Structure 1
């Protein structure tokens, strides 16, 4: 066996460069952050023109913003499902208790439990299955409603502040 040194390639693909830089940045530690100026300097060294970098940065910001909105939407849906589950438990607990008190057993309340349970199961599917068109439509609807609320609140706040002055 011979001890041959590692042979480094003369040319790297952009994907290889991206992976190497990600590994190097990760090894530096989580506390090390780069400034926007440093980003520009790295791009300059890689012969990436400023306009291309700005377009990429804008795309990244849009992606990050959308990811945060989706995370907020998912949290909203989970909270809605949690509230429905609590209501389901309270109502069905009451009905089962009423059934036990009145008849000494569980008879008619079981049918209501199963019927409401079906609705809860469908809500569970809608809440946690987030890879289809229905999810995307619900997200777009929620996002639009939030934008309208923010716009309305902003206008209302401006009117309120001008009225207070």
Structure 2
């Protein structure tokens, strides 16, 4: 029976998961790589790339949390101020619902803020992320 490289990778991944539920040491990683015929140079480069990728993902999670908190603050302000304006409108001029104009205007801005926060696959997201990363 023969296996392609993808099948070998899946089988080994399952076997490693079953073999040891805990963590592997770096020495064990090097030993497994040598048993698989992977040179130490390739393993080291791959490990560095993986670590960089993990750091990038952690930074993006932190950035997303920061943006969501900022949006939450914006949303709470929107609700509080507009509830006050609705009460003011009902008390001062109940026959004319003028408060709809600030609600719609601010609501449009709130929508665009929501859109920018929850769209994480765009070029604008990457630009914002790089600016945020430069600040920290």
TM tier, shorter chain? over 0.9
The aligned residue for residue 19 of structure 1 is 10
Change (3 A) 1:120 1:106: farther
1:111, 1:97 → 2: CA distance? 15
1:50, 1:99 → 2: CA distance? 72
1:73, 1:89 → 2: CA distance? 25
Match of 1:70 among 54, 60, 79: 60
The aligned residue for residue 112 of structure 1 is 102
Q: Flag as ranges the 4+ runs of structure 1 deviating above 4 A.
A: none
The aligned residue for residue 40 of structure 1 is 30
Q: 3-state SS of the aligned residue for 1:108?
A: coil
2:4, 2:62 → 1: CA distance? 36
Between structure 1 and structure 2, the one with the greater Rg is 1
- Residues 1:103 and 2:93 are matched in the alignment: yes
TM-score, length of structure 2 as denominator length:
0.93
Q: What's the C-alpha RMSD, in Å, of the aligned pairs?
A: 1.5
Q: 3-state SS of the aligned residue for 2:115?
A: helix
- Per-residue deviation, 1:25: 3.0
Deviations for 1:110-161, whole angstroms, at most 9, x for unmatched residues? 1111111000000010000111100000011111111xxxxxxxxxxxxxxx
2:66, 2:92 → 1: CA distance? 39
2:91, 2:11 → 1: CA distance? 69
- Residues 1:49 and 2:48 are matched in the alignment: no
The aligned residue for residue 158 of structure 1 is none
Change (3 A) 1:105 1:65: farther
The answer to whether the 8 Å contact 1:73/1:139 transfers is yes
- Per-residue deviation, 1:15: 2.3
Aligned residue pair count: 136
Unmatched 5+ stretches in structure 1: 1-8, 147-165
